[in-house]
Structure 1
Amino acid sequence: MQNFFVKSHGLGNDYFVLNEAELSFKLNEKNIQLLCDVHYGIGSDGILLKVPSDKADFGLKIYNPDGSEAEKSGNGLRIFAKYLYDYSHTSGKKFTIETLGGIVTAEVTRETKGIASQVKVDMGKAIFDSHQIPVTCDSPECLDHPLNIVDETYLINCVSVGNPHCVILRDRLVEGEILKHGSEIENHPMFPHRINVQFAKVISRNEVEILIWERGAGYTLASGSSSCAVAAVMVKKGLTDRVLSLKMPGGTLHIEIDEDWNIRMIGEVREIASGYLSDELIADALCL
């Protein structure tokens, strides 16, 4: 199983999974960029690396395609949970996973003949404290705070769900707008660790539509942590109920937020391919 990989997607947000114990080389920023490149590597929105953990059943490192490490990923966690279940790393349907953003509980909620198709993840708590997100803001909570970029002023709402998010409410969603301003917002000086960006439109008390600019990855069809962040902001502002659906270009996730701001996410996941990294690709990776 040396250098074995599995590539899957959660609503069009794709990752491939590697097992650190099976790799013949060490991952670094440059070879992560190569492996995620659609032309020279496998092509992916990121890498999920199975690692040991002494605090949870499994350990997970999440890498963005630019080589940076992410604290948490909702789609990534569902993909990783499917990998663990499908490839017999666990015999149970419910288990804990340690990430840089904390320990979460995942549960396979739908499967057919040992193949998982739907996963529920307890994503932890929504945190609105500006210092903990972190965001440089003169208010304890960064809600409806003006953010000035080159030719636009947005009112931003910031929250952490294990990683930092900036939610902007819009009357209508235009893909070109987030493509134009996503990187500027992500890298704004207000955000010392950069930030994930969502443009959101409320459809009803139980439904919100969003577009996503993911930190370190760019425009993304779907994001689990982004969906959780938007849901938390909507509940905080009293715009929706605590059980709601988040519609993205890649599909829909279902989010629940309890009175203590614990977040539960449920959604589908699908495998795309599995195989082995070629000797030539590994040789290229070792040269970086």
Structure 2
Amino acid sequence: MATPFWKYHALGNDYLVLDPERLDFPLQPLAIQRLCHRHFGVGSDGILLGPLPAPGADFGLRIFNPDGSEAEKSGNGLRIFARYLWDGGKVGGEPFYVQTLGGLVQAQVQNQGQQVQVAMGRVSFQSGLIPVTGADREVIQEPIQVQGQTFTFSAATIGNPHCVILVPEATPALAQTYGSALENHAFFPQRTNVQFVQVLSPERLRLEIWERGAGYTLASGSSSSAAAAVVHRLGLCAPAVTVEMPGGELAIRIAPDFAITMTGPVTGVAQGILASDIFAG
């Protein structure tokens, strides 16, 4: 049986969707790496495997990074998965629930599939939940050293770990130069996503992102959620903000308990059949 795939992007962050019932090979790390490779595979920032059975939810979803590791949660991935379900007639315009490794989320497709809103869950700054090494605490504005440079970071989780660094100017060079070292820093036993954040105004942030297991990334929904929560926790932005990234913009709403609602676009790219010799060589 040939395996079909669907490809979408959310602000330039692209994923392949695979239906587990139509998968004719084991989805192991080497296979994931090949599928995501820009030259030897289809090319993507990750793989979404679903829908899967999920007690207590309408659908289950597993999310894989291009290095073959499994991610707990992805805001862009969740929006893409919601659009895929809508395209396949599995959902309409009503809210529905998706179970991820990083927790239960609610999603709703809007504007005839062009936009998706996701209730991402509640952000926590507690070190034991993120996790960050050391005493149990809120990880807010602490020093971290990489490559001879000292930054001040805050850490957060929204089901996956984030290292948030405020800077006067967020540039691609910052993420590309320091992202890998921060991702793999000893402070983060499960590695971390990294965001460099520039506060443009109380209603607008600019992000540059290094994604755990993926590298430099044009946009990220969970990164936008975590970064906005940190900036709001520091009293530097409003509870409703626009997050600007190289790939485009997301709308983030932060509730008093730091529950996050994210809204943004999804674009279809392609669908096809994986060739029988894609894993050869």
Task: For residue 76 of structure 1, give the secondary structure of its aligned residue in structure 2.
Answer: helix
Displacement, 1:76? 0.3
Asked whether the equivalents of residues 210 and 217 of structure 2 are also in contact (C-alpha less than 8 Å), the reply is yes
Displacement, 1:249? 0.2
1:43 is the counterpart of 2:40: no
Name the residue aligned to 1:4: 4
Displacement, 1:175? 1.4
Mapping of residues 152-171 of structure 1, within 5 Å: 152-171=149-168
Name the residue aligned to 2:274: 277
Of 134, 148, 151, 1:151 maps to 148
Letter in 1 for 2:97: T
CA distance in 1, matches of 2:93, 2:200: 38
Name the residue aligned to 1:199: 196
Displacement, 1:90? 2.6
1:107 is the counterpart of 2:108: yes
Identify unmatched segments of 5+ residues in structure 2: none
Q: CA RMSD in A?
A: 1.2
Deviations 1:175-202 (A, max 9, x none): 1121111000000010000000000000
Task: For residue 280 of structure 1, give the secondary structure of its aligned residue in structure 2.
Answer: coil
Name the residue aligned to 1:223: 220
CA distance in 1, matches of 2:199, 2:267: 28
Name the residue aligned to 2:171: 174
Asked whether the equivalents of residues 128 and 136 of structure 2 are also in contact (C-alpha less than 8 Å), the reply is no
Task: For residue 167 of structure 1, give the secondary structure of its aligned residue in structure 2.
Answer: strand
Letter in 2 for 1:32: I
Asked whether the equivalents of residues 92 and 109 of structure 2 are also in contact (C-alpha less than 8 Å), the reply is no
Displacement, 1:9? 0.3
Name the residue aligned to 2:20: 20
Letter in 1 for 2:16: F
Percent identity over paired residues = 49
CA distance in 2, matches of 1:177, 1:209: 13
CA distance in 1, matches of 2:94, 2:277: 37
Aligned pair in 2 of structure 1 residues 90, 35: CA closer, same or farther (>3 Å)?
same
TM-score of the two chains, using structure 1 as the length reference: 0.95
Asked whether the equivalents of residues 78 and 121 of structure 1 are also in contact (C-alpha less than 8 Å), the reply is yes
Displacement, 1:99? 0.3
Displacement, 1:137? 3.5
Task: For residue 181 of structure 2, give the secondary structure of its aligned residue in structure 1.
Answer: helix
TM-score of the two chains, using structure 2 as the length reference: 0.97
CA distance in 2, matches of 1:69, 1:59: 14
Displacement, 1:150? 2.1
Name the residue aligned to 2:181: 184
CA distance in 2, matches of 1:86, 1:30: 29
Displacement, 1:91? 4.1
CA distance in 1, matches of 2:60, 2:172: 35
Which 4+ residue blocks in structure 1 deviate beyond 6 angstroms? Answer: none
CA distance in 2, matches of 1:29, 1:53: 23
Letter in 2 for 1:105: Q
Name the residue aligned to 2:67: 66
After alignment, is 148-157 or 84-93 more displaced?
84-93
Letter in 1 for 2:56: K
Letter in 2 for 1:260: D
Asked whether the equivalents of residues 85 and 93 of structure 1 are also in contact (C-alpha less than 8 Å), the reply is no
Mapping of residues 81-160 of structure 1, within 5 Å: 81-111=82-112, 116-138=113-135, 140-160=137-157
1:265 is the counterpart of 2:266: no
Displacement, 1:2? 4.7
Deviations 1:136-158 (A, max 9, x none): 14461111100011210010100
Letter in 1 for 2:143: P
Identify unmatched segments of 5+ residues in structure 1: none
